[in-house]
Copies of this chain bind each other. A is one copy, B any other.
Amino acid sequence: MAKTTVVAIDAMGGDNAPDIVIEGLAQVLKKEENVFFLIYGNEDKLIPLVKQYKLNPDKFKIHATTDVIKADDKPSAAIRNGRESSMFKAIMAVRNGYAEAVVSAGNTGALMAISKICLGTVSGIDRPAIAAVIPTLQTPAVVMDLGANAQCNSQNLVEFSIIGTALYRILFKKERPSVGLLNIGSEDTKGRDEIKEAASVLKTLDESVNFYGFVEGNDIGKGTTDVIVTDGFSGNVALKTLEGTVKMVSGTIKRLAKRSLFSKLIFLLALPTFKILKKETDPRQYNGAMFVGLNGISVKSHGGSDAFSFACAVNRAISMARHDLCAQIKKGVEDLMRQTEEKE
């Protein structure tokens, strides 16, 4: 019998909580047998919802919490005052070994700050980062950091490359995923100093990291490399620009479809194709920003998640837990240290 994966759920975070959270868990349970949820939140709200969405009672336990971290709470305030919140309690379940992963659609800054304090970082990793999977013309890509570190030094970028390699390997079963460093030109002379320094280190690490070289913004959609590494500012801008552009194109399609009776008819006939298009290019399918470099798995679902995308985030967390991401990252860091020592 396969091992059960226990996931702690912050049911109160996000714009549409706790409804979409419970509906999302019901969607996960339709396809997933070996999972158990520790659900943290307002019991009065949760009990009717688990009935409404017919959650299998063998598959979850509700832990009543009284407090909620709000979307505009500062991370520092959330750490100080949020001990009784659904988010804090869910993270503590991972820290205390009762759950293997935590998923929340709540305040990103608070989730990162509390995850960092409660779980700690993998030994040898300076700063945790946020990673996401995005659609490309080829296979999906992992992009990181997406906002945890607005400014990064070269060491951070090297560490992200190691973490990204481990993550991609787990999610997409590719032994040596290629890693590109986001820059504003492919020539060695372009870009910021920390990027050039990181590139020169990565070139020497061919055992741990399959370094491709510099990539540019348009390489993200092309799928030039499996992993794209950048600082949190540029990564956040790139991911959000990608999301916005997909919406811009699909919005333009919808507007054009309404132009005439003929175009309406064509659009109707093409609807199945557009549904696949939407599915394949929809950033929601890949929902679940992964906080990586921590001693534990913490996944952030979009604040505006619907049930489908929340379920995607939970499935992502389950996959990371089953393949023991933290151990893989630890191994990557140890390999890096060994290689660096051997060269010295």
Q: Does any Cβ of B come within 8 Å of A217's Cβ?
A: yes
Proximity bits, A141-170, B CB within 8 Å = 1, else 0: 000000100110000000000000000000
Q: How large is the interface on A (under 10, 10 to 19, 20 to 34, 35 or more residues)?
A: 35 or more
Proximity bits, A255-287, B CB within 8 Å = 1, else 0: 011010001001101100100110011000000
Report B-chain residues with C-beta under 8 Å of the C-beta of A241.
Answer: 217-218, 220-221, 237-238, 241-242, 245
Q: Does any Cβ of B come within 8 Å of A236's Cβ?
A: yes
Report B-chain residues with C-beta under 8 Å of the C-beta of A184.
Answer: 147, 150, 232-233, 236-237
Q: Does any Cβ of B come within 8 Å of A47's Cβ?
A: no
Report B-chain residues with C-beta under 8 Å of the C-beta of A192.
Answer: 150-151, 233
Q: Does any Cβ of B come within 8 Å of A251's Cβ?
A: yes
Closest beta carbon of chain B to A47's beta carbon, Å: 34
Residue of B238, B246, B277 near A253 (CB, 8 A) is: B277
In angstroms, Cα B270 to Cα A94, docked, is 52
Beta-carbon nearest neighbor of A71 in chain B? B187
Q: Does any Cβ of B come within 8 Å of A66's Cβ?
A: no
A74 with B276, Cβ < 8 A, contacts A221-B248, A245-B221 known: no
Beta-carbon nearest neighbor of A192 in chain B? B150
Report B-chain residues with C-beta under 8 Å of the C-beta of A136.
Answer: 248
Q: Does any Cβ of B come within 8 Å of A337's Cβ?
A: no
Residue of B220, B232, B236, B248 near A222 (CB, 8 A) is: B248
Q: Does any Cβ of B come within 8 Å of A2's Cβ?
A: no
Q: Does any Cβ of B come within 8 Å of A124's Cβ?
A: no
Interface residues of A in 178-210 (CB under 8 A from B): 182, 184-185, 187, 189, 191-192
Report B-chain residues with C-beta under 8 Å of the C-beta of A243.
Answer: 217-218, 221
Closest beta carbon of chain B to A129's beta carbon, Å: 13
Report B-chain residues with C-beta under 8 Å of the C-beta of A259.
Answer: 273
Q: Does any Cβ of B come within 8 Å of A247's Cβ?
A: yes
In angstroms, Cα B187 to Cα A269, docked, is 44
Report B-chain residues with C-beta under 8 Å of the C-beta of A150.
Answer: 184, 191-192
Residue of B220, B233, B252, B266 near A266 (CB, 8 A) is: B266
Q: Does any Cβ of B come within 8 Å of A249's Cβ?
A: yes
A242 with B240, Cβ < 8 A, contacts A266-B266, A269-B266 known: no
The answer to whether B263 and A273 touch across the interface, beta carbons within 8 angstroms, is yes
Q: What 3 A-B pairs are tightest by C-beta distance, nearest first?
A: A217-B240, A221-B244, A218-B244
Binding site for B on A (CB under 8 A): 72, 74, 135-137, 147, 150-151, 182, 184-185, 187, 189, 191-192, 216-222, 230, 232-234, 236-253, 256-257, 259, 263, 266-267, 269-270, 273, 276-277, 280-281
Would you mind naming 12 contact pairs between A and B with Cβ atoms under 8 Å apart? Answer: A74-B189, A137-B252, A150-B184, A150-B192, A151-B192, A184-B232, A218-B247, A238-B241, A245-B246, A248-B281, A256-B276, A270-B270
Besides A192-B233, A221-B247, A233-B234, 6 new A-B residue pairs in contact (Cβ under 8 A), listed by A number: A137-B251, A151-B192, A217-B238, A237-B237, A246-B249, A269-B269
